[in-house]
Amino acid sequence: MTKEQEYARLLIQVGLNVQKGQNVVIHAPVDTAPFARLCMEEAYAVGARDVTVVYSDDAVTRAHFLNAEDDVFDETPAWRCHLMNDYAREGAACLFIAASDPMNLAGVEPIRILRNAKAKGRDLAEFYRLETTNFFPWCIASVPTEAWAKKVFPDSTPQEAMRLLGDAIYQTVRISGKGDSVALWREHLSMLTARTEKLNAYRFVSLHYKNSLGTDLTVRLPEGHLWQSGEDVTPKGQRFVANMPTEEIFTAPLKNGVDGIVYGAMPLVNSGNIIEDFYFVIKEGRIVEVHAKKGEEILKNAISVDEGASYLGEVALIPYNSPISNQGILYYETLFDENASCHLAFGEAYPCLEGGADMSEEELKERGLNSSSQHVDFMVGTADLSIVGITHEGEEVVVFKDGDFAI
């Protein structure tokens, strides 16, 4: 078995945990077609009812944003609404292969990107709601493409860059060629679960972040919040791993309970653009100031897609001394970069509450969780990051010291 075959099997059997008779949808860049076919074959091998592969193309996407008629960006095509919403409603397993050129939409008018995002948020609202509540199994993973690899390894030839990025990705998902990746993932998920249980035992009221970049942020947590990690589970009991790789333990902040300033520790790729050297000022949960040396307008637009996009929706803890961070690679792909660093997200909150999976959107809002069509992770972890948790009894607990877990 090749590493590619083992990877495809890992995504189908552990990432999605495809069940016999279940429909599968694979979203993939056309440059990754050979790998998408391997995933399709693995899905059929475990008994998938049907597998639909939906291809995208960076060149087509860029031409669309540069040349399409202006009114196109205020609506989502009906066929895409049906594809996304209908499959989500039936509980189909969805694999997303993330492998686009990080700079694909550089130079596109930011207002077009914003209007397109607003239209998708409105027209695909059912899909996003079912995704964030884990109604269907979904998994995001990556394989190299030439444009992406050259961005990550600019001093290498295209062939060498592809090899280097491929080897790095295999390392992050615990594929060594020995065929033991499924067992290694079970072990890794168990470790994350144990640490998650330890965090939940504290039942923190708030977390205080500080580092030398200038971050000084207090994040209050909702009453009855739950830390989660690794595996998720659908209402029907189907376990899946939404991100491969994953190193994070996460929960939801109290929507109106975040105050201070927070600096991005790594560049952020958003809407085909790279945002660098940025920070947010947050008051009573709302992002009131956005500053960036590069990509500031893109970032300002991202937090204005809807009302909830200007509030935080996720708090995630990842040790600075972690496998992906220790690679020393800037991937320019959030799937990897977010797992190399503690991160926050603006936009939609996952229902990380006791009984949250059974709550309606209104009930989650009443409990203090944010709602948005957006969910954008940005990295805040550094080698000197400290995080202090405050318990209900007023005890201060050092959660992170010098970038790593202290509990």
pLDDT of residue 187: 92
* Sole residue written with tokens 């990556």: 142
List Cα–Cα distances, 289 to 34, 259, 375, in angstroms.
Answer: 44, 12, 18
For residue 282, what is the DSSP state?
Answer: E
pLDDT of residue 46: 97
* Mean pLDDT across 373-387: 95
3-state SS assignment for residue 217: strand
**Bridge partners of residue 347, in order along the sequence:** 375
| Band of pLDDT at residue 45, cut at 50, 70 and 90 | very high
* Sole residue written with tokens 């935080």: 312
Give me 125's structure tokens.
Answer: 């609202």
Q: Report whether pLDDT(163) > 90.
A: yes
CA dihedral 319, 322, 326, 329 (to 10 degrees): -80
Q: Report whether pLDDT(54) > 90.
A: yes
Q: Report whether pLDDT(177) > 90.
A: no
Round to whole Å and give the CA distance between 24 and 18.
Answer: 8
- At the second CATH level, the architecture of 3-172 is 3-Layer(aba) Sandwich (3.40)
In the chain, where the domains are located: 3-172, 202-405
* pLDDT tens-digit readout, 118-156: 999 999 999 999 998 899 999 999 999 999 999 999 999
Q: Report whether pLDDT(361) > 90.
A: no
What's the order of all strands across the beta sheet hosting 312-317? 228-229, 249-251, 312-317, 343-347, 375-379
Q: Report whether pLDDT(268) > 90.
A: yes
Q: Report whether pLDDT(271) > 90.
A: no
**Bridge partners of residue 56, in order along the sequence:** 29
